[in-house]
Amino acid sequence: MRKPSADRVLTALMGLVSLFVGASLALVAYVLAGKIGEDHRATLDRRVTAVVFDKRVVNEGGGPNGGTRTDTLVRYELGDKRYTSTLRRGSSGGEVGDTVEVAYDSERPDRPYTVAYAESEPPSNASRITGVVLCSLFALAMLGGGALLLLTGGGL
């Protein structure tokens, strides 16, 4: 039996890697497609009054889009349980000691959001659809290229 050449082994390896990458991209496209039209704002069905207990300036790194943001930390009670958390999706505008209304999901009361975010319109699905299309196209290209490399052994 003849030993395969280094070129054929490399070609087979590239074909297998291409198939793996293509399958991974296909999985990402599938997951993204399942999220089209989904918006968790509808689950933010509860409101509670919270107290702003701290504001922290967070460095987001350098570069042209770098800079800082201010995180608002709030405390609130639901029944006999007390929660302390960072307010998500925007600042409350309140100062330390102020009371603010926050929205939360009844199944995840530890994740408060601003009421403005909860009541805003969901973003367009265009970016998710674009992501699905691009992932699908790249997945097809990688799967096709990988299969071609494996079937022809690189000798086109």
pLDDT tens for 99-143 read 988 888 888 888 888 888 887 777 777 877 888 899 999 999 999
**What is the reported pTM?**
0.55
pLDDT digits (tens, 9 = 90+) for 15-47: 999 999 999 999 998 888 887 776 666 678 889
CA distance 28 to 135: 7
**pLDDT at residue 49 tops 70:** yes
Mean of the pLDDT values across residues 8-18? Answer: 89
Residue 131 CB contacts under 8 Å (≥ 6 apart), including other chains: 29, 32
